[in-house]
A and B are shown apart, each in its own frame.
Chain A
Amino acid sequence: MQKVCLSILAVAVAVFVLWLPFVATSQINDWMFRVAMLCILAVSWNLMANAGAISLGHSAFWGVGAYAGVLSANSLGLPILPATGVAVCAGAVLGAIIALATGRLRGVFFAICTLALSESLRTTALMTPKLTGGAVGLFLVQKLRPGATELFLIGTAAAIFAVLVSVVLAHTKFHYACRALRNHEGAAQMLGIDPRQYRLAVLAISGALASVAGCINAWYGGYLDPNIAFDLFVTVQAQIAPILGGLFTIAGPVVGSFGIVFLSELSRIWLGAHEGASQLVFGLVLIVGILFMPKGIYGSLLRFWARRAGPAVAKPAGGPATIIPQVQP
């Protein structure tokens, strides 16, 4: 019953957000666009985390996607959809390279590697101005840029697509394999799951998604430089959204994206006139959120519903020292 309700709700939301670009004001569309981009990023990060790979360098995919999208437009004259296709390939390739290079590294080791990669890419972009425009930056060729409504529609559609990908994956063996790998890689191997294959698939898919977000965002903004492309804040938001929304869940990244954009705009509008105040609020929210709602908004909701459903609900499995929630739709 719960599942059916949630699915109907999800479809209703999807239809609503697809309708918005045609009727809403620019301001609302701008907000929804940022939610959509963050949503794609959050879904992507969540996918990786579900397989035990914590990424601290998601901005690498974002940046690569952004440059791929803008450069292919500027030098090959590609319109937005083929350019996004190029970004998808670039992201997938980068993900595959990371998977092959890092092999079996897990946890913080993997995370630091991704961070190192992201910073290296930023340096490379800065040091190769002939290719990337360097620090001076790159403008998207004006005439290729589609109208605002079209851009918003594409952004929203991409976000819905990303969520669908995660839904599909969640109902396949792929998902259970990833979760098993996350919990205990040795045991999973004994069951015949090849960690390297799954790691490769996860990173490629995740990378492709994040690159799509970077590409579409670059087309929207119209201007790119290495600091914008490989901005650390992208990485931070990619993590905060699923964690605040509910890690390893499907709706969590979506809920979290709305929350983050909402909060950041609120603090900008109300406190923007005071130096440093908006970043302060963001930090405080992070702290309070982690301390008092470690399962995220959606995760807490699920726990609440589970408790109401009574003692017949199975307790979540997990190791003695860590609390890893079951995946819920």
Chain B
Amino acid sequence: MRAFIARTLAVALGIGAAGVAGAAEPLKVGAALELSGRFVAFGSHCKRGIDMASEALKRDLPGTPIEFIFHDVESNAASTVSAFTQMTSEEKLDFIIGPIASPIAASAIPAWRQARPIWIVPGASTVTLEKEIGSDLNFFHPFPYAYQYHVEIAGMLKQYVNTKTVSIIYTDDDYGRTHLPLAEKYLRDAGFTIVSEEIVRANSADMNSALTKIAFAKPEVLLALMQTTDSITLAKQVYTRRLKVPYLIGTFATQLKEWQDAVGLAQEGWTGLASYLPNLVNFPANPDYPKLLPTTSDWEATFRAKYSQEPNYDDAMCYALAAAMAIATKNAGSNDREYVAKALRELDINTVYGHLKWTATEGGTKQNAFDQMIIFQRQGGKSVTIYPPEAANGKLQAVQH
């Protein structure tokens, strides 16, 4: 009994002290990222963005109110559960950011449920996440969901394409399987006929069988629902066999420089979706923190100078999120979990990745952000925005072989 009272007093005093002294101690945020294993690309870019932000914060938001503690979830479920357990019960972290990949984030849900810290997932477009915990107020999702991709794609196709036949090619992994029913729904609602659906093995060495069947079905549009590695194989085989389909719709991979380099000439005519593309979108600076959150092109210049590469979307997004968390902590005036969470929920700021304000989605997530998207097409080795009309600077062109 005495022990209980002593502990409660300590906690209360602790909160009080933190509230009085301001954020003297930095707020510790756990970053559970895929720093090895098959999703290392996502995790490492995110870490890079966060590191860059941490440095900028030291300079531009002194009193560094925030500190990130990294944990490698090794792109597998057991390590993710271990990492979450360690963060919540040992390190007693109230805030966690990551993981990024859909299956890894999904595997973290049961472990998250044990302690329900404030959880920001900058990735994971899987609808499973929304179904399971979307309505929880401790859950933040600064990323589009899979169905949002298809709302945009259907809208774009309706605008440009006359004969309404589509073939869908998808992989038998979580990406393909998640996106397929969503693509079907939104395409059918927009009046398209799906003339064939072909499944291919993830990491398939040869997709030609699927492409031959698609060629026989003679669609106007080919929609590819697959991740980067497979969409490289697909793009090359589509080009090699001079597939006579005029409109080639990719989803996510098209924006990645690695995809464009690996695919070479075959990239011509593929469309893709992005919330962010280097050199293509330019969000305005944040008037309160112009050095920390400058215009997107200024930020990109700083990134290029520092890392000698073009930034990826996840570099920019995690930079923006790290900065946003620091700002929320400053606004809260203390490290108390509920104050910071409230400040986080109330954020309404410009960032290098776009305007950050949490809104509800039609699928049930209460706090979603960063889900605006543009559709672009690779034309002459460059990305040309073709949708939505207010952002477009070009038109969708049919592929010629």
The answer on direct contact between A and B (beta carbons under 8 Å) is yes
A binding-site residues for B, Cβ under 8 Å: 25-27, 30-31, 34, 126-127, 129, 134-137, 139-140, 142, 145, 148, 217, 220-223, 225, 227-228, 231, 233, 265, 268, 271-279
Query: Assuming A30-B81, A225-B103, is B72 touching A136 (CB within 8 A)?
Result: no
Q: How far is the CA of A232 from the CA of B246 in the complex (A)?
A: 41
Partner of A279, one of B43, B74, B77: B74
Query: Assuming A25-B89, A223-B106, A225-B174, is B76 touching A273 (CB within 8 A)?
Result: no
**Chain A contacts of B89 at CB under 8 A?**
25-27
Between A and B, 24 residue pairs with Cβ closer than 8 Å are A25-B89, A26-B88, A27-B89, A27-B90, A34-B78, A126-B173, A134-B177, A136-B174, A137-B103, A139-B132, A222-B109, A223-B109, A225-B107, A227-B103, A228-B77, A268-B72, A268-B74, A268-B79, A273-B35, A273-B70, A274-B35, A275-B40, A275-B44, A276-B35
B127-149 interface (Cβ within 8 A of A) = 128, 132
**Chain A contacts of B178 at CB under 8 A?**
135-136
A-B contact sample (10 more), CB < 8 A, given A139-B132, A268-B72, A273-B70: A26-B89, A27-B86, A27-B90, A137-B174, A142-B113, A222-B110, A265-B82, A272-B36, A272-B71, A278-B74
Residue of B nearest to A268 (CB): B72
Partner of A137, one of B83, B90, B111, B128: B128
Partner of B110, one of A31, A136, A221: A221
**Chain A contacts of B74 at CB under 8 A?**
268, 272, 278-279
B37 close to A25 (CB less than 8 A): no
Q: How far is the CA of A222 from the CA of B77 in the complex (A)?
A: 10
Partner of A26, one of B35, B90, B103, B107: B90
A221 close to B76 (CB less than 8 A): no
What are the interface flags for B102-125 relative to A under an 8 Å C-beta threshold, 1 for contact and 0 otherwise? 010011011101100000000000
**Chain A contacts of B113 at CB under 8 A?**
142, 222
Q: How many A-B Cβ pairs are below 8 Å?
A: 111
B81 close to A221 (CB less than 8 A): yes
Query: Closest Cβ of chain B: how far from A96's Cβ, in Å?
Result: 29
Query: Closest Cβ of chain B: how far from A44's Cβ, in Å?
Result: 18
B36 close to A276 (CB less than 8 A): yes
What are the interface flags for B257-291 relative to A under an 8 Å C-beta threshold, 1 for contact and 0 otherwise? 00000000000000000000000000000000000
**Chain B contacts of A30 at CB under 8 A?**
81-82, 85-86
Q: Does B294 contact A (CB under 8 A)?
A: no
A137 close to B106 (CB less than 8 A): yes
Q: Does B126 contact A (CB under 8 A)?
A: yes
Partner of A277, one of B36, B107, B128, B172: B36
Count of chain B residues with a beta carbon within 8 Å of a chain A beta carbon: 41
**Chain B contacts of A277 at CB under 8 A?**
36
**Chain B contacts of A127 at CB under 8 A?**
172
**Chain B contacts of A217 at CB under 8 A?**
78
**Chain B contacts of A222 at CB under 8 A?**
109-111, 113
Count chain A CB atoms within 10 A of each CB in B47, B77, B86, B107 and give the residue with the most.
B77
Q: How far is the CA of A219 from the CA of B115 in the complex (A)?
A: 18
Q: How far is the CA of A275 from the CA of B78 in the complex (A)?
A: 18
Count chain A CB atoms within 10 A of each CB in B70, B82, B109, B172 and give the residue with the most.
B82
Q: Does B388 contact A (CB under 8 A)?
A: no
B82 close to A278 (CB less than 8 A): no
Partner of A228, one of B40, B72, B76, B83: B76
Q: Does B176 contact A (CB under 8 A)?
A: yes
Query: Assuming A30-B85, A227-B103, is B70 touching A139 (CB within 8 A)?
Result: no
Partner of A272, one of B70, B88, B175: B70
A223 close to B79 (CB less than 8 A): no
Q: How far is the CA of A240 from the CA of B328 in the complex (A)?
A: 47
Query: Closest Cβ of chain B: how far from A99's Cβ, in Å?
Result: 29
Q: How far is the CA of A285 from the CA of B275 in the complex (A)?
A: 42
B172 close to A126 (CB less than 8 A): yes
A135 close to B177 (CB less than 8 A): yes
**Chain B contacts of A221 at CB under 8 A?**
77-78, 81, 107, 110-111
**Chain B contacts of A136 at CB under 8 A?**
126, 128, 174, 177-178
Q: How far is the CA of A140 from the CA of B72 in the complex (A)?
A: 25
Count chain A CB atoms within 10 A of each CB in B36, B37, B74, B90 and give the residue with the most.
B36
Q: How far is the CA of A265 from the CA of B86 in the complex (A)?
A: 11
B76 close to A231 (CB less than 8 A): yes
Partner of A275, one of B36, B106, B111, B175: B36
B173 close to A223 (CB less than 8 A): no
B168-190 interface (Cβ within 8 A of A) = 172-178
Residue of B nearest to A139 (CB): B132
What are the interface flags for B25-62 relative to A under an 8 Å C-beta threshold, 1 for contact and 0 otherwise? 00000000001110010011001000000000000000
